[in-house]
Amino acid sequence: MSILFECEYKGERYVGFELPVPGDSLTLYQVADGQLQAEFIAAAEPAQVVASVISEAERITVTAGDPDLRYLPPLLPTTTGNALLSGFMGTHRSKFDKEPSADEEFVAPNWFFKGFGSWLRMPGETLVVPAKAVALIEEPEVALVYVNDDNGDPHYAGYTFGNDLCDIGLHRQNPGWNPYCKLSDTSLTPWLFLGEPPKSVTGRVTIERDGVAAWEGSFDCGEDALYFTARDMMANLFEYPAIRRPGMVNYVLLGADKASFHDGFRIADGDRVVIDVKSHGVTLANPVRFGTAATAAAAAPATAAAIAA
């Protein structure tokens, strides 16, 4: 499986084309912010992007694990910030009482806005949730990555994996509160797999508490586990002009199956969620922190007198 990742090293932006192995040497190729987005728009296939960068870019060799190496969300435009994170709900076959049929009319699943691309967190970074979260759920998911050209037409770049951490307890209290439910941090792996959306993605989740495993369970978030096809879901989503803004990078989560919450487990402040995507040889691990409540001054709207003053 071909991959790429972007990173910063001593203030400069680079791309690599191999999964880093701790302690081994790693070849990086210098790129400009937005260069890879342009390459994917112009390329007929992802292999052309790899060949173009390798043939033209200056390269350096570093050690994987170098403290000056900082991984970035794949293709995130850090200068413009023109990136959107969103996803689908209720997409897995296990949530339906029948199997899909080829002649069945497509009815789009629910969709949610998760945040801007700059809100994404990388492996090892803390995922912050509301101080009064009701009941959290980890959600191992496939995330598809698209780059819009100057006309707003989307170009598929590849896929990666994420943890759509959210407050399912709040959602169950009132499904209309789902937009609040989704306002928790989301993490992605920095590895962009250069291929079609995967049919099979299997692995295991471990939630650690005080350094030991408190809950474990397997997952499958590949397309074969979904009721809908990625093609149908994405074709419908890209009908909407807000998703087709020129230059935008879209990270789209395809949904998750049942997880620790459904097994009766409750994620607590300080827990660490480890998602081992065994089928693809990558791991996504993040500590969870319950945030602080807003102060009274910050929570209250400004009065006319305060604005005038």
Give pLDDT tens digits for 7-49.
Answer: 999 999 999 999 999 899 999 999 999 999 999 999 988 889 9
Q: What is the structure's pLDDT at 306?
A: 46
Paired strand residues for 156: 146
CATH 3.90.850.10 fits 73-290, yes or no: yes
Helix (H) or strand (E) holding 12: strand 12-16
- Which part of the chain has CATH 3.90.850.10? 73-290
Helix (H) or strand (E) holding 55: helix 46-56
**Out of 4-8, 96-100, 185-189, 212-216, which region has the weakest mean confidence (pLDDT)?**
96-100
Q: Is the pLDDT of residue 81 over 60?
A: yes
% residues pLDDT > 70 (the chain): 95
What confidence tens digit (pLDDT) does each residue in 277-292 have? 999 999 999 999 999 8
Q: What is the structure's pLDDT at 97?
A: 85
> Side chain identity at 125, as an amino acid letter?
E
Q: What is the mean pLDDT of the chain?
A: 93
What's the pTM? 0.94
Q: Per-residue pLDDT averaged across 79-102, rounded?
A: 92
Q: What is the structure's pLDDT at 222?
A: 95
Distance CA 181, CA 170 (A): 6
Q: What is the structure's pLDDT at 299?
A: 62
What confidence tens digit (pLDDT) does each residue in 206-250 have? 999 999 999 999 999 999 999 999 999 999 999 999 999 999 999
Q: Is the dihedral of CA 165, 167, 169, 171 positive or negative?
A: negative
Q: What is the structure's pLDDT at 301?
A: 62
Q: What is the structure's pLDDT at 298?
A: 62
pLDDT-derived band of residue 297, with 50, 70 and 90 as boundaries? low
> Side chain identity at 79, as an amino acid letter?
T
What confidence tens digit (pLDDT) does each residue in 131-175 have? 999 999 999 999 999 999 999 999 999 999 999 999 999 999 999
Q: Is the pLDDT of residue 305 over 60?
A: no
